[in-house]
């Protein structure tokens, strides 16, 4: 960073002169504050000036942060090189970057019309090279994958965040007292801005270096953003306290570049508040819009705050612009697709014309402009879906009918033009709705992990996560035919609710088993139906159907035992077991727990156990709820959704404190109502919930009467109201703002 001395000191002098000139009519204290670097109330604010060496973070911290990145890159490098030469025709290194309608260049991996499905002589075994992960071969290495409750991060991720915090704290306090000089804090905060933006990009350069997809780095993007806000708050707080004590806050805050800093800090705070988990996961569109608005305001404000902050704001814009250009040029494609409704599972198959350009386990973003035909604003939205097929076949996506967007897609696929569901009932051969779609991707996937290089494979999926497992299984079978798969067995476990959910994909599974019969790979497929009324297990076309929840510990133990026998007998190399899991977080955590209890001796005998996870949670679209009556209104309770105690007959115990005068103060973590009607109260401290008699009732900012209890009670609302605005152009139930209300804060009652 050659500009961090002369350029910055020159900028300091210029800023001091500008600040002094803009506040020449103010008091001597004001002029002195501006000239000494007093400017900067903003969250991203840079150094205010003065030129003192202590305002700059020590240069060795740049090397320390770079060293941390280099450490992860070097640990990833061997697996990157192995992937480069993992199979024929250049390996897998150049796959998974750009979708194409052309067949794969290595035609030996082509689809059903090739030798792969033609029953010709199978190629000689030439399995890919293998390099195990550190967590698989180091005793206790699996502990890094333990998810910490409430933190929503693994121990390994928390260790990375801890190292990042250490660098942040050192940069704040080394040769500097943040309580007596707030410039360093602003400097550190604004230098984090390009890092935050870089970690949040889909075409992620940092992810390429460390072998992680953008979704695997998102936790670090969020965490670094919080550190940025902390640094900016130190910077803003220092000058706020200083100026308030001197009685010159209003005068200083009116200086243009200081006002810009305050606006930048407010923009970062706005982004942080609207990024809390229950907003990000439940109303993702609202979160995204707030994030975009906040970032735009922050960048503009930083450009007017200081010369150094303007420079770093421009750098962050360059990073963002590069990502947009690469996504448009390299990742976005428009193609024809066929939408096929699957009435039994309430899903839609999206069959595109792409035949190459992705790796098994990757996902794409789908946008369907034709949704304007069914009304609403759904045609603007794009949603991520795992690819359900391997390279060489048509790229297939499976969309579960759950929210407004997927319901609109199902309605479009079912239109009665002879190609949809009605056409299927009439016996038309061409089932489905033809339309143009916009596909962006592929992204994510196993990264440097080459599943075909392992001695054995276990695939665990839940619900629509089966698409990940399907593509991996299809890919393994194709590679096994060409002799590029070391594993001899693969156990496929799918957990779903009932047989109707599984039935549409059973023919696909049967076809995959038929293809595998021409290879040395033997798949075992088990489907677990968790809500079935039956209790017996049976087989259907070689597929095991089990009417209960899977005992994952027993499944993992069985796979490890079989792999150990094969390794010790010399039938397969000592290259370990890979467990791929995709589904809800609960399923992912249970699978990782089952892997952790495998004894170290057995791990060592087979070459270690590696876990690759793909968890749900980026975007969650809640299904619309039908109108409820007091007798049928659900009372589902978890740690983030707690019904009002006077509606909930269980009378949940809340911490309650007695106040002077006989009042009581209670803490309500969150309140969620599922009543589909205009039950959302709006305003500071307002609250919305259904009335037991079936009408809506809300509390305003002032005092309102609440007759939801047996006796009349008065409520004084304090806190903040977050409403579940429906951004899909449709209102559930009666006309209103939506059927979901969330309340966090304090409530005082007498």
- pLDDT, one tens digit per residue, over 582-628 is 998 889 989 999 999 999 889 989 999 999 998 764 433 333 333 33
Positions of CATH 3.40.50.80 in the chain: 452-615
**Residue 105 has what pLDDT?**
65
**Mean pLDDT across 233-237:** 93
Q: Would the pLDDT of 534 be above 90?
A: no
**Which H helix or E strand runs over 277?**
helix 277-282
**Residue 31 has what pLDDT?**
34
**pTM given for the model:** 0.72
- pLDDT, one tens digit per residue, over 1-17 is 333 433 334 333 433 33
Instruction: Tell the residue number behind the tokens 């906040």, with chain if given.
Output: 294
**Residue 263 has what pLDDT?**
96
Positions of CATH 2.40.30.10 in the chain: 95-125+331-445
Q: Is 586 helix (H, G, I), strand (E, B) or coil?
A: helix
Q: Which has the minimum average pLDDT: 51-60, 369-378, 640-649?
A: 640-649
Task: Say what percent of the chain tops pLDDT 90.
Answer: 36
Residue 217, number of CB atoms within 10 A of its CB: 21
- pLDDT, one tens digit per residue, over 278-292 is 888 878 888 999 999
Buried b (16+ CB within 10 A) or exposed e, 341-376: bbeebbbbbbbbbbbbbbbbbbbbbbbbebbeeeeb
419: Cα within 13 Å, side-chain hemisphere: 12
Beta sheet of 383-386, edge-to-edge order:
383-386, 363-367, 433-443, 332-342, 347-352, 396-400
- pLDDT, one tens digit per residue, over 662-681 is 333 444 333 333 333 322 33
In angstroms, the CA 397 to CA 252 distance is: 57
Higher pLDDT, 106 or 165: 165
Contact 723, 274 (CB under 8 A): no
Instruction: Name the DSSP letter for residue 311.
Output: H
pLDDT band at 468 (very low <50, low <70, confident <90, very high): very high
In angstroms, the CA 307 to CA 612 distance is: 45
> Is the peptide bond between 460 and the residue preceding it cis, with omega within 30 degrees of 0?
no
Contact 666, 651 (CB under 8 A): no
**Mean pLDDT across 548-552:** 92
Contact 681, 721 (CB under 8 A): yes
Residue 720, phi then psi, degrees to nearest 5: -140, 145
CATH superfamily assigned to domain 95-125+331-445: Translation factors (2.40.30.10)
Alpha helices, DSSP H only, in 283-331? 284-303, 307-326
**Mean pLDDT across 88-109:** 62
Higher pLDDT, 202 or 419: 202
CATH number of 452-615: 3.40.50.80
**Mean pLDDT across 78-82:** 77
């Amino acid at each position: 960073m050659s500009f961090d001395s002369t350029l910055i000191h020159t900028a300091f002098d210029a800023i001091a002169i500008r600040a002094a000139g803009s506040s020449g009519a103010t008091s001597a204290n004001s002029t002195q504050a501006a000239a000494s670097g007093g400017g900067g109330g903003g969250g991203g604010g840079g150094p205010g000036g003065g030129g003192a060496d202590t305002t700059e973070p020590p240069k060795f911290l740049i090397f320390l942060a770079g060293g941390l990145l280099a450490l992860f890159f070097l640990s990833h490098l061997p697996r990157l090189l192995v992937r480069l030469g993992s199979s024929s025709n250049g390996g897998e290194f150049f796959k998974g970057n750009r979708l194409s309608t052309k067949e794969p260049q290595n035609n030996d991996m082509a689809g059903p019309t090739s030798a792969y499905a033609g029953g010709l002589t199978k190629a000689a075994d030439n399995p890919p090279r293998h390099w195990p992960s550190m967590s698989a071969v180091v005793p206790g290495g699996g502990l890094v994958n333990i998810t910490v409750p409430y933190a929503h991060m693994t121990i390994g991720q928390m260790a990375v965040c801890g190292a990042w915090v250490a660098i942040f704290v050192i940069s704040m306090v080394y040769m500097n007292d943040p309580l007596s000089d707030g410039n360093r804090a602003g400097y550190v905060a604004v230098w984090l801005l390009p890092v935050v933006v870089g970690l949040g990009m889909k075409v992620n350069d940092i992810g390429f270096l460390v072998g992680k997809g953008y979704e695997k780095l998102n936790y670090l993007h969020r965490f670094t953003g919080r550190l940025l806000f902390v640094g900016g708050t130190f910077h803003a707080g220092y000058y706020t306290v200083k100026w308030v004590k001197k009685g010159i806050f209003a005068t200083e805050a009116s200086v243009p570049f200081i006002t810009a800093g305050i606006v930048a800090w407010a923009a970062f705070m706005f982004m942080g508040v609207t990024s809390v988990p229950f907003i990000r996961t439940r109303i993702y569109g609202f979160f995204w819009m707030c994030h975009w608005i906040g970032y735009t305001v922050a960048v503009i404000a930083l450009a007017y705050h200081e010369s150094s902050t303007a420079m770093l704001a421009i750098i962050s814009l360059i990073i963002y612009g590069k990502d947009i250009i690469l996504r448009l040029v390299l990742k976005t494609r428009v193609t024809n697709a066929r939408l096929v409704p699957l009435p039994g599972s309430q899903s839609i198959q999206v069959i595109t014309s792409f035949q190459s350009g992705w790796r098994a386990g990757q996902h794409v973003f789908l946008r369907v402009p034709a949704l304007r035909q069914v009304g609403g604003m759904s045609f603007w939205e794009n949603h991520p879906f795992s690819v359900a097929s391997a390279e060489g076949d048509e790229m297939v996506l499976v969309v579960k009918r759950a929210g407004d967007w997927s319901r609109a897609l199902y309605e479009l696929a079912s239109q009665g033009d002879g190609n949809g569901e009605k056409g299927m009932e009439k016996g038309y051969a061409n089932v489905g709705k033809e339309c143009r779609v916009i596909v962006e991707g592929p992204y994510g996937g196993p990264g440097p992990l080459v599943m075909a290089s392992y001695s054995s494979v276990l695939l665990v999926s839940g619900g629509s996560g089966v698409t990940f497992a399907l593509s991996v299984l299809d890919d393994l079978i194709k590679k096994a035919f060409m002799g590029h798969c070391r594993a001899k067995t693969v156990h496929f476990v799918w957990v779903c609710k009932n047989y109707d959910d599984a039935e549409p994909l059973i023919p696909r599974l049967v076809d995959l088993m038929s293809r595998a019969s021409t290879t040395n790979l033997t798949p075992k497929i088990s489907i677990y139906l968790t809500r079935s009324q039956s209790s017996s297990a049976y087989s259907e076309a070689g597929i095991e159907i089990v009417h209960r929840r899977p005992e994952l510990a027993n499944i993992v133990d069985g796979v490890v035992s079989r792999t150990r026998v094969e390794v010790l007998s010399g039938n397969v190399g000592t290259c370990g077991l890979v467990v791929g899991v995709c589904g809800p977080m609960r399923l992912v955590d249970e699978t990782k727990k089952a892997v952790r209890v495998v004894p170290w001796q057995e791990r060592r005998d087979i070459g270690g156990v590696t876990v690759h996870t793909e968890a749900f949670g980026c975007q969650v679209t809640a299904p619309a709820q039908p109108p409820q009556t007091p007798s049928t209104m659900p009372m589902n309770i978890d740690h983030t959704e707690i019904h009002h105690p006077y509606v909930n007959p269980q009378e949940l115990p809340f911490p309650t404190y007695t106040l002077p005068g006989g009042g009581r103060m209670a803490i309500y973590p969150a309140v969620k109502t599922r009543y589909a009607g205009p039950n959302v109260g709006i305003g500071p401290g307002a609250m919305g919930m259904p009335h037991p008699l079936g009408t809506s009732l809300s509390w305003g900012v002032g005092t309102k009467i609440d007759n939801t209890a047996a006796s009349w009670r008065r409520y004084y609302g304090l806190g903040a109201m977050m409403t579940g605005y429906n951004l899909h152009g449709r209102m559930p139930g009666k006309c209103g703002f939506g059927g979901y209300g969330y309340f966090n804060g304090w409530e005082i009652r007498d």
